[in-house]
Amino acid sequence: MRPRSAAIDTVRVLGLAAVVTGHAFAEPAVRATLYPWHVPVFFFLTGYLWTAGRGLGDEVRKRARTLLAPYLAWLLLAGLFTTALRAEAGRQPSPAVFGEMLLGGTYVESPLYTFWFATALIFAALLCRALERLPGWVPWAVASAGLAAVYAAPRIVADVPLSLGVAVPSLVFLLFGTVAKRLRPRIGRPLIVGLALLAAGGILVATGASRPVDLKQGDFGTILLSPVVAAVLSFGLVLVAEVVVPALGARFGRAMVLLASGGLLVMFVHPVVLWALRNDSANGSWVIYLTALLVPWAIAVGLRHTPLSPWLLGVPRARPAPAPARAA
């Protein structure tokens, strides 16, 4: 198994914190700052870490282990929890709610609205793997067709069950990640280039030339430009992290790896916390926000060292480091 990169995991942690922030606060400045990149970055990182040559069956098994198992586990647990709370409040859910949970994507009601992410990423990865052995232009053509469809009929594409429709145009972010990985060895000054990419993308966002994206709703922003800007910002974050994170020391790196390993739990559970605490995103509370950010992460860190880790986090159980041998 390839060792985890502390720099990449730091970008994951940053992306997760941005997702929670975007859900806790509805200010236009938050949306303008975070939505251009905070979800596309996860698709980009999948491409950046892509291992060429793996069989489709192996890819299915990998995504089932790392994404599908936690998705199903938390869909069940969070669904039961929210159903119980609604029942206690005198709101009996209709049978249709459970059917909508199976459809996933846009059909899942609050507070399970982040579950679309897992199935979209699974399908995007499987699609990329299925197209991998074809000529190089074919995956780009498929992604471009998906983008054309989502720009023409965003609601229709977004409403395809399990976010399968959104997965096709989202393939473009994964492909941009593979391109970035090929370019990486040619970049001699990653910090300077990374900051330049962040500045260029930031200018396009700040001037309104590139609109924010909301992938779940089929909103891919400004035609063609927003996906490119999302990739530029994602690559900029990676390049900066690859320089800055090692400089912060091994302890910081290990902390980022630990936090990132519980990322799926944070993605799935934080909306439940916001909902249970009755967060008003229009007048967001910092106390509720920090609770929604830190409590799921604390749970994830605890689960990381239990047999439940593969099922609820999608990563193997962490084993304690062996004690140093004593001198004879």
What is the per-residue pLDDT across 41-97, written as a single tens digit (0 to 9) for each?
999 999 999 999 889 999 999 999 999 999 999 988 887 887 777 676 666 666 666
Residue 263: which of 42, 65, 12 has the closest Cα?
12
pLDDT at 328: 44
Whether 328 is covered by a domain: the verdict is: no
Amino acid identity, residue 325? A
Is 136 part of a structural domain of the chain? Answer: yes
Answer whether residue 132 is part of any domain.
yes
Tell me the average pLDDT of the chain: 92
Domain count for the chain: 1
Domain membership of residue 250 (yes or no) is yes
Asked which of 29-43, 74-88, 281-295, 313-327 is least confident by mean pLDDT, the reply is 313-327
Q: Which two tokens stand for residue 118?
A: 């897992």
Asked, for residue 236, whether it belongs to a domain, the answer is: yes
List, in order, residues 6 or more apart from 176 with CB less than 8 Å away: 44, 47, 227, 228, 231, 234, 235
The tens digit of pLDDT for each residue in 138-196 reads 999 999 999 999 999 999 999 999 999 999 999 999 999 999 999 999 999 999 999 99
Per-residue pLDDT reduced to its tens digit, 183-236: 999 999 999 999 999 999 999 999 999 999 999 999 999 999 999 999 999 999
Structural domain range at position 182: 6-312
Q: pLDDT at position 92, please? A: 64
Q: Residue 321 domain-assigned? A: no
Q: Which amino acid is at 176?
A: F
Q: Judge whether 172 lies within some domain.
A: yes
Give the pLDDT confidence score for residue 82 in this predicted structure: 77
Q: What is the pLDDT of residue 284?
A: 83
Q: Give the Cα separation of 124 and 119 in Å (integer).
A: 8
Residue 318 counted as domain residue = no
Structure tokens at 161: 């069950």
pLDDT of amino acid 96:
61
In sequence order, the 6+-apart residues with CB closer than 8 A to the CB of 129 are 54, 56, 59
